[in-house]
Every structure is written in C-alpha cells, then in structure tokens.
C-alpha cells in the first residue's frame, strides 16, 4: 500500500500560509558562520568558532515593527485576537485538532519557508519516543510528495541520537535544508551529551553551540507536554531559535496565535467524525440500590451509622454520597426519593466490635462494616465497554470492508499489566487481552458476521491475531512482546507492535495485516497520524 497526499486541502494551505506570511518582506539570503575544526585554531584566531568550512544559519532581517504588522494581519484574516506586542522571544501558536494532518502541515510549512525566504535550519522538538517515531515516519512517507510539490528540492532529515552526535556538525555545515527531530529529554539536562564539551568530534566545542549558531526555526510538537516545565522551556531557549512554532490540539500557553482549527471547526468542516460514547458506569451503576456501610457510632444516643448511597441531587444528577442514619430512618427519603431505595427502613444498627452491621425492615440485606451491596464490579463495566466497542467495530466493517476501507479501533487502558504481563520467559496475556479474545470470538461467530469471519479468518477464528498493543515497556524489553506466550502455553508469532504502529502505517492500514484493534496506555503520546 502506498499512501497518497492531497496538497490542495484549503484548511492546510491556510495553516501553512498563516506562518509563512508572518515573514513577508524577509529577503532570501542565508546567513553564514564559521565552524571550528579544532581547539588550537579557535585559540589562534582569538574567537570561539573558526574554520575554512562555512556553516549556514537562519538570519531574520525584518524588524519587530514589520513582524508585528504581519502577525496582526494574519490574525485579522482568521478572526483571532490581535497581539499587542511580540515579546523578546518569538513564539507563534497554531491550533489544529488531532486527525487534521498537523504533522504534514508543519513539515510543509518548513519547506515553504525555505522556498519563500531561504531558511534552511529547522528543529522539531517532541515530548516522547512515540511521537518522534511518528514524525520520522511522516517524513519518510511524504518525501516523494514534497519533492514533487517543491520542484525536487533537496532536504535532509534525521532523528537525533547521541550515539551519532556527529550529525549535529552535518546539520550545521550543510547548505541544504536540514530538519532534525529531537526529544526534549535529549537536551534539557546539563549531563546530556549534546550539552557537554566534545574534544574528539567537535574540537572541544559543545554540540549545542553549533545548533545555536544556526538559529534554527524550532517546531514544538504538542507543547502542552513538550514544554510543560521551566526546565523544558529553558532547554528550548538554549537552542537560540529564530522563532518557535508551537503546534497543538490543546494549547495551554498561547502567544501570538496565528491559526485555529479546533474540534468544533474540524467537525463542521467534516474533517473528523463525531465521538461516539457508550456509558456504563453512570447509567447502569445507579439502577440498583447501592449501599456501603462506612461506620457505626454508639458513643451517644441514639446510635447512628454512616452509609454511602446514590443520592438524587437538586440538579437531577445522581451522586454517591454518605448519609447519617438512625433506627427507623427511611433510606428512600435520604436518597432524595429514588425508587430503588423504596422499602429500605433502618431496623437495627449493631456496634459489636468486629461484627458491626445494619439491617433493614422487610429487606433481606444485612450490611456489614465496609461491605458493598449493589455495586457493579469495575471489571463487569469494562467488559461491557469492550463488548460494545467490538460490536460497533464489526458493524462498521460490515459497511466499509466491501468498499476496501479498513476499520481500526483503539482501546486506551489504565494499566499495561492488565493487557500484557512480563516474566523471564517473555510476555503473557493480561485480563484485557483474554477478555477481548473471548468477546471477539463470541461476536464474530454470529451469523450476521459470517462474511467478515470468512474474509478475516477463513475456517478458524484466531482472535489473537486481530489485536495488539504498544507500550514503552515493550521497547525497554527489546520488543519482548513480539512473541508472547498465552495461558495455554503455546507461542504466538506476531509483528512488533511498536514497528507496526509507529513505523509501518502502510502495513497497518492494509488488509494483509490482521491487526484491527490496538491497545494503548491511557494518556499515551503515541498517535497514528
């Protein structure tokens, strides 16, 4: 499968132009600086950097007044609040909803900035390995597209790796467009290799100094995570950026916003689908009489007990609240008139040490201290949610699979161990993986899904092939999850989920790949697009 890119999407063109128009009036002449070959030459020349080689850096020739004028013009065009001033550092915010091609947009913006103004040095700072790999993959799959779009322009890109720190020198001295992708953690600490003197490869100069000399235009991907601390902000400042372009779906610190495409705009433009939510925890958990005996008190008369119940509030919402009761109290009244508590009259409150309880008139329940009655177990709710998701997925496949469209469903989970457990022998399926396979086999076996079953499985349903997960622990364990042992003791071969999700999107989107359900940790920074 080869992914195709449409360069004519209006909203993406607007986002690109919003940034580029800020520099209207900038000449296209590059700035040159020198790079030292060795420490002796630096001292002999009486300067920090010296060499016969030439380094190329970005140089801003516009004054602040012209920049502010351009910024305000862009903001007026998009109906955004006008900036009163730019500040000492140049920060620009671009808000784009997840799923609208944010990574594509900022990569195209960098190439457009080069085309218009000759800027050549760009750094993309990301919060995590997962996003780093996602950006690298987008660079890989858009290379042919961008070269067609920009008249076969030559540009180099690399992911920063301290094991190959010499690429920093290449970045500095190369006259072609240079794009570096780097994780914030790789340069925010003084102990990071990039911040330390390097006699062997840099003649005693710190690699970060070469980056500073280039004054890169710095893209901050997901700034709410990438620059959420003062140390991270200072790390970005240490690059001496010409400016920072901050792309986010959920901006926090906003300065000089140039473009906005939020969730509502994206939905109205039919760029993303509405979010479908199936709720179980609230809807089902309050349909039975819920009790939890928190305490009993016989220190004064009358004896009382504190019981947690589901109470109808004045707003109409049902909330779990503790209430104090005594013998003869009607729980129906205490609950705000909820019918599920009709007939629950407190009969007796017993305070014997180790045997505390409350019972009710005309009801069989005897409620012991800290005992819960009527609670839907959290696992039961999660199983319902999983079943609803799988069933909804299969319904979509009935419609889309005949049209050649593959459906993917994501599960964001609370704890990695619930999906995948590790020991010295490898990885084992956790309860979520086992539930999934049990539910999937049950649902795919229905007559209505016969054609799907035939298309995806043939004669035998192998539920273990249709789901996988990516977690940072997998990489730490050298992709131990690539082969995992199930509870029956057999071993299942599978592609590395990390490679499949982060590096092989074409394969993931192909019907040749069996994976259609993906598990991520809740709050994961990974993404598919």
Q: What is the share, in percent, of the chain residues with pLDDT greater than 70?
A: 82
For all residues of the chain together, what is the average pLDDT? 83
Of 25-29, 237-241, 254-258, 387-391, the range with the lowest mean pLDDT is 25-29
Length of the chain equals: 529
CA-to-CA dists, residue 35 to 206, 207, 210, 410, angstroms = 12, 11, 8, 48
- DSSP designation for 480: G
Structure tokens at 148: 């067609």
**HEC per residue, 362-411:** CCCCEEEECCEECCCCHHHHHHHHHHHHHHHHHHHHHHHHHHCCCCCEEE
State the Cα–Cα distance between residues 67 and 247, nearest whole angstrom: 20
Per-residue pLDDT, averaged over 386-408, amounts to: 91
Does the pLDDT of residue 528 top 60, yes or no? no
State the average pLDDT over residues 38-43.
Answer: 42
Strand pairing category for 31-34 and 54-57: antiparallel
Give me 293's structure tokens: 């005996």
Work out the pLDDT band at 159, boundaries 50, 70, 90: very high
Dist CA 147 CA 177 (whole Å): 12
CA distance 22 to 39: 40
* 460-504 confidence digits (pLDDT tens): 899 999 998 876 555 545 444 444 444 333 333 334 666 776 677
pLDDT of residue 31: 65
pTM score? 0.65
Cis peptide before 12 (omega within 30 of 0): no
pLDDT value, residue 474? 52
Structure tokens at 104: 């594509």
Q: In whole angstroms, what is the distance from residue 468 CA to residue 429 CA?
A: 10
Please tell me the number of Cα atoms within 13 Å of 327 on its side-chain side: 10
Residue showing tokens 């009993």:
296
Distance CA 67, CA 70 (A): 5
The model's confidence at residue 231, banded by pLDDT at 50, 70 and 90, is very high
Of 135-149, 211-225, 404-418, which range is least confident? 404-418
Helix axis angle, 431-444 to 378-400, nearest 10°: 40
Q: What is the dihedral of CA 155, 158, 160, 165, to 10 degrees?
A: -80
- Check residue 270 and report its DSSP letter: T
pLDDT at 1: 60
CA–CA separation, 371 and 291 (whole Å): 8
pLDDT at 146: 95
- Per-residue pLDDT, 473: 52
Q: What is the mean pLDDT of residues 88-108?
A: 92
Q: What integer pLDDT is reported at residue 493 of this predicted model? A: 37
Q: Answer for the pair 221, 126: CB distance below 8 angstroms, yes or no.
A: yes
pLDDT score for 211 = 92
Angle CA(383)–CA(384)–CA(385) in degrees, nearest 5? 90
Checking if the pLDDT of 25 tops 80, the result is yes
The confidence band for 290, taking pLDDT boundaries of 50, 70 and 90, is confident
């Amino acid at each position: 499968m080869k992914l195709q890119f449409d360069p004519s999407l209006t909203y993406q063109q607007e986002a690109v132009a919003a940034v580029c128009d800020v520099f209207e009036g900038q000449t296209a002449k590059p700035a040159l600086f020198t790079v030292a070959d060795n420490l002796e030459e630096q001292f002999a020349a009486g300067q920090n950097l010296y060499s016969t080689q030439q380094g190329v850096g970005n140089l801003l020739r516009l004054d602040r007044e012209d920049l502010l004028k351009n910024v305000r013009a862009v903001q007026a065009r998009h109906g955004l609040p006008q900036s009163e001033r730019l500040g000492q550092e140049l920060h620009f915010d671009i808000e784009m909803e997840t799923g609208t091609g944010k990574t594509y947009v900022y990569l195209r913006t960098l190439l457009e900035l080069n085309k218009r103004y000759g800027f050549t040095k760009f750094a993309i700072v990301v919060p995590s390995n997962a996003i780093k790999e996602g950006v690298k993959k987008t660079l890989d799959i858009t290379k042919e597209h961008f070269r067609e779009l920009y008249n076969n322009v030559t540009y180099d890109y690399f992911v920063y790796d301290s094991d190959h720190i010499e690429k920093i020198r290449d970045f500095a001295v190369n006259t072609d467009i240079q794009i570096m992708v780097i994780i914030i953690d790789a340069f925010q600490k003084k102990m990071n290799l990039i911040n330390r003197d390097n006699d062997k490869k840099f003649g005693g100069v710190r690699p970060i100094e070469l980056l500073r000399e280039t004054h890169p235009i710095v893209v901050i991907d997901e700034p709410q995570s990438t620059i959420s601390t003062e140390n991270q902000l200072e790390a970005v400042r240490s690059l001496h950026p010409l400016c920072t372009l901050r792309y986010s779906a959920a901006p926090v610190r906003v300065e000089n916003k140039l473009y906005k495409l939020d969730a509502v705009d994206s939905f109205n433009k039919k760029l993303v689908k509405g979010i479908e939510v199936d709720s179980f925890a609230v809807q089902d958990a309050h349909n039975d009489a819920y009790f939890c005996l928190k305490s009993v008190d016989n220190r004064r008369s009358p004896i009382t007990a504190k019981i947690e119940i589901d109470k109808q509030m004045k707003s109409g919402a049902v909330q779990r609240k503790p209430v104090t009761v005594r013998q003869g109290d009607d729980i129906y009244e205490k609950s705000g008139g909820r019918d599920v508590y009709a007939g629950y009259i407190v009969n007796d409150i017993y305070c014997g040490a180790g045997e505390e309880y409350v019972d009710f008139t005309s009801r069989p329940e005897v409620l012991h201290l800290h005992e819960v009655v009527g609670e839907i177990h959290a696992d039961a709710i999660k199983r319902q949610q999983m079943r609803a998701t799988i069933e909804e997925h299969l319904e979509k496949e009935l419609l889309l699979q005949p049209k050649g469209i593959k459906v993917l469903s994501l599960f964001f989970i609370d704890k990695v161990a619930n999906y995948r457990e590790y020991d010295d022998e490898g990885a084992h399926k956790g309860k979520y993986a086992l539930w999934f396979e049990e539910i999937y086999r049950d649902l795919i076996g229905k007559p209505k899904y016969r054609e799907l079953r035939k298309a995806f499985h043939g004669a035998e349903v192998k539920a273990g092939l249709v789901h996988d997960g990516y977690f940072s622990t997998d990489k730490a364990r050298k992709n131990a999850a690539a082969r995992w042992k199930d509870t029956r003791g057999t071993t299942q071969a599978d592609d590395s989920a990390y490679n499949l999700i982060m590096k092989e999107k074409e394969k993931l989107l192909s019907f040749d790949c069996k994976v259609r359900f993906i598990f991520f940790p809740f709050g994961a920074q990974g993404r598919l697009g």
